[in-house]
Amino acid sequence: MGGRICLVSRRCIEDFPRGVAPANRAALLAERRQDAESEGSIERAEGRMPEASVRRDGRGNPEHIGRCLIAAGLALWFALPAAAAEPVTPRSAVAGAQRVLVLGDSITHAGGWVADLAAWMESQGLDAEVINCGLPSETVSGLSEDGHAGGKFPRPDLHERLERVLRLVRPNVVLACYGMNCGIYLPLDEERFAKFKDGMERLHAAAEKAGATIIHLTPPLYGGPPGKPGPAGPVDYDAVLTAYSEWLVSKRADGWLVIDVHGPMKRALEERRKKDPTFSFAGDAVHPGDEGHWEIARAAIAGLGDEAAAANPDLPEVLGAFLPDVTKRMHLLRDAYLAAAGHLRPGMKPGLPLPEAEAQAALITASLRDRRLQLRGRKHQSGEWRIPIEWPRPKVVAPGPAPAGPAPVPADAIRLFDGSTMDAWNNAGTWKVADGVVTVGQGMIESKQGFGDCQLHLEFRMPAPATGKGQGRGNSGVFLMGQYEIQVLDSFEDGTDGPLTYPDGQCGALYKQQPPAVNACRAPGEWQTYDILFTRPRFTAAGLVAKPGRVSVVHNGVAIHADTVIKGPTAWHEPPAYKPHPDSLPIRIQDHGNPVQFRNIWVRPIEPVTPAATGS
């Protein structure tokens, strides 16, 4: 352009008003373009911009002006002051993370507080993968007592393995809880204190260099029962940890994210000792028991912004349903990642190969998250497990008239009740057979033969006239593999059936897990049918759920479940949780105290169809 700048570019960059709202920028840029084009015409008319030069250089033509507008707009955009970014908080860091690496010593390695925190995260829908790489005996100070572990090995230094761990885990967030071992159970000393500070600074820098946000937790409380000294002997070692904690908290002024564990834990101990002067969180002064781990978890949860949950005295009960699977997953990943990254601490469990551990952990995670709402329930004083779900009431669909007689039986079906005898069942002595029908007696019955994947047909009839309300109205149920119930209940809505029962407990429900899509019930005294297609759950060799069970149900000719996932055994008193079981188990039919009647029960096992290899 011969060293010249076009009119649009010069004016847009040099003269464009600062602070213009984004909504007005396009209009102002267009106005500048129009002005520039007009001025270009005037310059050419006055001989100040020769036509030939316009043709040769391209200056002033619409295409060139358009390119300059883009350049000017970009220049303007970057020149405007950027909106202030929201400050990162512990909660926002964890909420946005895919992987959270937890570092610490034997307290962290034991994993109680880590599992408690991970259970809270699962309950809140915070889906980051939590990987516990705590290592017993470890310090950030690099110090070790003479004769540590009976002279077998010195204390491991985190910095020996830190780079490898960060490279292997690739965390978005690091939670680090150190200090207990870092003063090696000696009095507060400036040199040892400086080693702790330097180690923490190096840890902080390494995490940030790896692209992670690091959240420091102050060390837990030191101290055992009164009169029972720990490894520090007569030394007031908790004073050392208090100094470490105060220094860490002071680093908030430098922008560090720090959650105080030590202070809340000390206050909790003071409150407990008002009632029991001998109480302690750690019998050996160092390693807290379950209550101590819960106090660490409470402090962490409060630091992540959920002070209400942290203060809830029932928190262990609230998160209890999540903990078995969360703990199993944590141990799998902990042992595998420690082994894969390597360390200098002898005597550690080797763990599975990392790909295998991650595959198993993924199955546990999928099962947890599929059941999240059920696991968030609470046990009512009645004993019922109540979940925080409000199901819509299934729409009533008239299924048409009842069949004139029993449905035809396929030639390959296994007849469990043909109207004449209950010989195919155990515990059926009190279930009376008459006129081709069996009436519920005392106790649950189960088929003598076991079944897995199958097609099940049964026909049932509710007592008429109807009596009872809710779950007391014509209640029974068919349990696939003895564990997975499709509810049998009088849910015919005729105005006399109120109050209506809960939707996931009405007729056709996968009990306490999924209501029927519609209510296809017939009136009491009319025959009804279930046609059920069931796929059993699959388990790995390690006992994990490879594939959950699934069920499709046609009720009176109306589809009410279509490949519905079964979240685990259906139970009134506890949340669903799979446990490995054989591939075939008996079918069970329930006695719930109501004289429900059945006829024409048959089953067809479903075997997989596999192709045969050809010679071509």
- CB distance 271 to 107 below 8 Å: no
CA-angle at 557, arms to 554 and 561, nearest 5°:
25
278 assigned to some structural domain: no
Which amino acid, one-letter code, is at 305?
G
d(CA 514, CA 492): 18
Strand positions, DSSP E, 431-535: 432-434, 437-439, 445-451, 454-461, 476-480, 484-488, 518-519, 527-535
Report d(CA 123, CA 135) in Å as an integer: 27
Say if 357 falls within a structural domain. Answer: yes
Q: Is residue 281 part of a domain?
A: no
Element (H, E) at 365: helix 354-370
Report the b/e string of 370-409 with b at 16+ CB within 10 A. Answer: bbeebbbbeeeeeebbebeeeeeebeebebeebeeebeee
pLDDT for position 611 = 92
Rounded to 10 degrees, the C-alpha dihedral 473/587/407/442 comes to -40
Same domain, 72 and 94: no
Rg of the Cα atoms in the chain: 35
Residues 111 and 55 in one domain: no
Q: Which residues of the chain have pLDDT under 70?
A: 1-85, 616
Rounded CA-CA distance 156/137 in Å is: 6
Residue 307 belongs to some domain of the structure: yes
Specify the length of the chain in residues. Answer: 616
Judgement on whether residues 94 and 71 belong to the same structural domain of the protein? no
Where among 54, 79, 104 does a domain terminate? 79
> Tell me, what CATH number does 564's domain have?
2.60.120.560
For residue 376, being part of any structural domain is answered with: no
Assigned domain for 137 exists: yes
**Contact by Cβ (8 Å): 438, 431:** yes
Counted domains in the chain: 3
* 380 in any annotated domain: no
State how far the Cα of 510 lies from the Cα of 533, in Å rounded to an integer.
13
Whether residue 154 is preceded by a cis peptide bond, meaning omega within 30 degrees of 0, is no
Q: Are strands 550-555 and 545-547 parallel, antiparallel or unpaired?
A: unpaired
Kindly state whether residues 361 and 400 are assigned to the same domain.
no
The reply to whether 167 and 30 lie within a common domain is no
Out of 79, 103, 137, pick the residue that ends a domain: 79
pTM of the model: 0.83
| Cα–Cα distance for residue pair 254/267, rounded to 1 Å | 26
Same domain, 351 and 391: no
- Give dist(CA 33, CA 10) in Å, integer: 11
- What are residue 328's phi and psi, to 5 degrees? -60, -45
The DSSP code for 74 is H
Single out the residue of 464, 606, 475 nearest to residue 536, CA to CA: 606
What's 135-196 look like in SS3?
CCCCECCCCCCCCHHHHCCCCCEHHHHHHHHHHHHCCCEEEEECCCCCCCCCCCCHHHHHHH
Residue 570 · residue 510 · CB < 8 Å: yes
616 domain-assigned: no
**Residue from 421, 117, 141, 419 nearest 297 by CA:** 117
Domain extent, residue 23, equals 7-79
Instruction: Measure the CA–CA gap between 329 and 320, rounded to whole angstroms.
Output: 15
CA distance linking residue 458 with residue 478, whole number of Å: 9
Tokens representing 9 are: 């570019």
The pLDDT of residue 496 is 74
**CATH number, residue 251:** 3.40.50.1110
The residue type at 175? L
Q: Are residues 108 and 148 in the same domain?
A: yes
Taking the C-alpha atoms of residue 229 and residue 252, their distance in angstroms, rounded to an integer, is 33
Domain final position from 79, 107, 137: 79
Q: Which amino acid is at 396?
A: V
Pick from 523, 520, 578, 593: which is nearest to 547 by CA?
Answer: 578
- Residue 88 tokens read as 């990162």
> So what's the pLDDT on residue 81?
55
DSSP secondary structure code for residue 471 in this structure: G
pLDDT number for residue 86: 83
> Which tokens is 154 given?
């010195």
Q: Domain check: are 25 and 152 in the same one?
A: no
Are 452 and 540 contained in the same domain?
yes
Amino acid found at 54: V
Tell me, yes or no, whether 446 and 305 share the same domain: no
Main-chain phi, psi angles of 250, to 5 degrees: -65, -25
Same domain, 61 and 147: no
Q: What is the DSSP letter of 593?
A: S
Instruction: Clarify whether residues 105 and 68 are in a common domain.
Output: no
pLDDT of residue 297: 98
